[in-house]
């Protein structure tokens, strides 16, 4: 029996792409800073000269899938993180944006084999979004942790040798 799981201790070989939506950037900027804080504390080089980390900005969450797809296909990254905030109270087409973003991101992951973390907050109010982006807890940190786990897990799966 094999137990296959991701680790958080050696992220030195991971190359990570982060795709961030500008819409509701009061929230997404905070998610990004939580995300970068977690990556940095796990040994990822987050400086401007880093060749381990790239950050792409898109207009809104609706555009997260296409840019994630392009980055995933580039072959440059082991894992991608998407960050966005869709707020029901201010968005008559909330369901459309959330549905396209979530289905699109899942499809990119499956089609390319590159894990894409779904870091899109979907809340009823701006207050709830801000609470999840730092006032109470910064989920950007959690999304980064999930990316480290998935990157490491995929690596563990790929490096297993078939038993003879
Ligand atoms: N994009 C978001 O990320 N969050 C939102 O709450 C939102 N609202 O409110 O509409 C939003 N809209 C923009 C959308 O994601 C696209 O960028 C736009 O429709 C252009 O394709």
Burial of 158 per CB tally in 10 Å (0-12, 13-18, 19+): exposed
pLDDT of 161 strictly over 80: no
pLDDT tens for 61-106 read 999 999 999 999 999 999 999 999 999 986 778 999 999 999 999 9
Give percent above pLDDT 70 in the chain: 97
Q: 139-158 and 25-41 helices cross at what angle (nearest 10)?
A: 50
Burial 33-51 (b: 16+ CB within 10 A, else e): ebbbebbeebebebeeeee
Position 163 scores a pLDDT of: 61
Domains of the chain: 16-151 (3.40.50.960)
Question: What residues flank ligand 1, with Cβ below 6 Å?
Answer: 21, 23-24, 59-63, 84-87, 90-91, 97
Choosing from 97, 99, 100, 124 the residue with most ligand 1 atoms within 8 A of its CB, the one to mutate for a pocket test is 97
**If you take atom 15 of ligand 1, which residue's CA is the nearest one?**
60
pLDDT of 145 strictly over 80: yes
Distance from Cα 23 to the centre of ligand 1, integer Å: 6
Position 159 scores a pLDDT of: 87
**Could you count the other beta carbons within 10 Å of the beta carbon of residue 136?**
10
pLDDT band at 48 (very low <50, low <70, confident <90, very high): very high
pLDDT tens for 110-135 read 999 999 999 999 999 999 999 999 98
**If you take atom 21 of ligand 1, which residue's CA is the nearest one?**
62
**If you take atom 19 of ligand 1, which residue's CA is the nearest one?**
62
Looking at residue 138, what DSSP letter applies?
B
pLDDT tens for 1-30 read 989 999 888 788 899 999 999 999 999 999
Choosing from 31, 62, 104, 105 the residue with most ligand 1 atoms within 8 A of its CB, the one to mutate for a pocket test is 62
pLDDT of 33 strictly over 70: yes
Q: Is 93 a catalytic residue?
A: yes
Ligand 1, atom nearest to 24 Cα: 4
């Amino acid at each position: 029996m094999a137990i296959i799981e991701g680790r958080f201790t050696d992220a030195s070989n991971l190359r990570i792409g982060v795709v961030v939506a500008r819409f509701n950037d009061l929230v997404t900027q905070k998610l990004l800073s939580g995300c970068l804080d977690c990556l940095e504390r796990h040994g990822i080089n987050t400086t401007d000269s880093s060749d381990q980390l790239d950050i792409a900005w898109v207009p809104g969450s609706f555009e997260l899938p296409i840019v994630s797809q392009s980055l995933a296909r580039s072959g440059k990254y082991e894992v991608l993180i998407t960050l966005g905030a869709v707020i029901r109270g201010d968005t008559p087409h909330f369901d459309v944006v959330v549905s396209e973003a979530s289905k699109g991101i899942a499809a990119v992951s499956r089609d390319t084999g590159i894990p894409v973390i779904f870091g899109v907050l979907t809340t009823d109010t701006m207050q709830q979004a801000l609470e999840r982006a730092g006032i109470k807890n910064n989920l950007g940190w959690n999304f980064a942790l999930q990316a480290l786990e998935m990157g490491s897990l995929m690596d563990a799966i790929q490096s297993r040798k078939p038993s003879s």
